[in-house]
Amino acid sequence: MEKIKIKNMQSEKIKSWIFLTLAMSFWGMSFIWTGILLKHLTPVSIITLRLVLSSLFLLVFSLIFRKFEAIKKQDLKYFILLAFFQPFIYFIFEGYGIKNTSASFAAIIISTIPLFTPLGVRLFYKNQLSVLNFVGLIISFVGVALIVLNKSVQIKISITGILLLFGAVFSGVAYFLTLKKIVDNYNSVSIATWQNIIGIIYFIPLFFYLGFDDITKVSFTGQVLNSLLALSILASSLAFIFNTYSVRVLGPSKTAAFTNSVPVFTVIFAYYFLNEPVSFHKIAGMTIVITGLMLSQYSKKKEKNN
């Protein structure tokens, strides 16, 4: 019986790693889709539209396959917090943080989320990663820095930008910690659906203030629609379902570690779709990130989820 249980746990872990790889590839590609849409729409318009389309997709999917679950009264506060941290304030902090610094500097700061998440888990849930796991996270962080930095990159330092980016880090960590509160009580599709629906409510006032006029003027060409649908279905729906499932199996700390692979996928997709060159230091950085991720996922047989 014990052997069967261990075998099932290992199978669930492998499935989680596959799901996370897909999720991070969708989020890596999302930078390219967003770049296309930013030529036509404001950031608030893009986020609001992708949440609306994602919510519609998830609602239809969950109803057809009978995955939809109502929120229990005692858990409503956690869903409200979940959507507040991600997508609402995370996207706001990240977007304006990049505007006040640079995309490269932002990538480095955001990659500290996996470093801070174990500290939050330790504080609120009394669980912790092994020394080897934490070393893996640090190695992965170094890899991200190597990917995004080069001699031609100019980093604009701004106290306001730094504070905004660390606001994004805080909201990213808080999202994982809040998700752990409800992840065992609902299926992944329901959590992603409610997260996006509540997220729309947060964004509606900003949309009518900053993005409504933008929508009325844009021409929804095939490229715009394809990018918007890809963001909605892959990045805002499936990626969050896969991420939620993985938090249930691996825990928030080990799941958060995978976010450092997003720049790896962005580099790969930019090479294939935008013909951006891949330098030696980027290849080295990608190798270091993957090595760090492997170390961060190592666990003993009886280790609890972190």
Full pLDDT tens readout for the chain, 306 residues: 666 666 677 889 999 999 999 999 999 998 889 888 888 888 888 888 999 999 999 999 999 999 999 999 999 999 999 999 999 999 889 888 887 887 778 888 888 999 999 989 888 887 767 888 888 889 999 888 888 776 565 666 788 988 999 999 999 999 999 999 999 999 999 999 999 999 999 999 988 887 677 777 778 888 999 999 999 999 999 999 999 999 999 999 999 999 999 989 988 888 888 788 888 888 888 899 999 988 888 776 555 566
Taking the C-alpha atoms of 267, 251, 83 and 229 in order, what is their torsion angle to the nearest 10 degrees? 40
Enclosing domain of residue 22:
2-296
| Domain presence at residue 303 | no
| Domain presence at residue 306 | no
Q: How far apart are CA 74 and CA 237, in angstroms?
A: 25
| Domain presence at residue 301 | no
Helices (H), the chain: 2-37, 43-64, 76-83, 90-100, 103-110, 113-125, 131-148, 159-182, 188-206, 212-217, 222-230, 239-250, 252-257, 262-274, 280-296
Counting the structural domains of the chain, the total is 1
